[in-house]
């Protein structure tokens, strides 16, 4: 199944180009682009959504949670990304490495490890069908 997800994601990645949102000020921090969405036919009420996240050099996401129903698998496509979920110690993930987030997890750290090179990851969500708010920034 993972191979099928990556194959489908890679095909869609090749043709997707419009960003969903960009965070950060004043410089662009991250760009999130949808690459794949499909209902999972053998898991009632669930959908699979894949997003490409590109961090500019020095870019970061604010501390956040995801939709309560979301199980997330993150795979680094290029560069190096520093990530910490819940009480984990921040860890540098390099191209080809991955991590996962359980539903309700607190993603405290998510940033590009480099100040000079961009970094890219593929985030694969299994969520309740119709879920639209995938990222819930922490309150200020």
38 strand-pairing partners = 48
Q: Does domain 2-130 have CATH number 3.40.50.10860?
A: no
Q: What is the pLDDT of residue 29?
A: 83
Query: Would you list the domain boundaries of the chain?
Result: 2-130
3-class secondary structure, 97: coil
Mean pLDDT of the region 72-76: 97
Closest CA to 112 of 74, 76, 81: 81
Please check whether residue 125 is in contact with residue 71, taking contact to mean a CB–CB distance below 8 angstroms.
Answer: yes
Specify the pLDDT at position 22.
Answer: 43
Q: What is the pLDDT of residues 88-136, one digit of tens each?
A: 999 999 999 999 999 989 999 999 999 999 999 999 999 999 888 888 8
Nearest to 100 by CA among 77, 130, 122: 122
What confidence score (pLDDT) does residue 82 get? 97
Question: Alpha-carbon distance 80 to 77, whole Å?
Answer: 9
Q: Is 19 exposed, middle or buried (0-12, 13-18, 19+ CB in 10 A)?
A: middle
Query: Taking 90 as the threshold, does the pLDDT of residue 4 lie above it?
Result: no
Quick one: DSSP state of residue 61? Answer: P
What band does 18 get if pLDDT is binned at 50, 70 and 90?
very low
């Amino acid at each position: 199944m993972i191979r099928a997800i990556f194959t489908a994601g890679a095909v869609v990645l090749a043709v997707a180009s419009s960003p969903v949102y960009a965070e950060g000020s004043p410089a662009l921090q991250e760009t999130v682009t949808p690459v794949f969405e499909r209902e999972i036919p053998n898991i009632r009420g669930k959908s699979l959504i894949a997003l490409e996240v590109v961090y500019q050099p020095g870019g970061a996401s604010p501390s956040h949670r995801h939709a309560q129903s979301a199980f997330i698998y993150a795979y680094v496509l290029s560069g190096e990304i520093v990530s910490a979920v819940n009480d984990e110690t921040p860890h540098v993930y390099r191209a080809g490495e991955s991590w996962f987030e359980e539903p309700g997890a607190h993603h405290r750290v998510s940033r590009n490890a480099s100040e000079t090179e961009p970094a890219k990851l593929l985030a694969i969500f299994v969520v309740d069908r119709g879920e639209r708010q995938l990222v819930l920034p922490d309150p200020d």
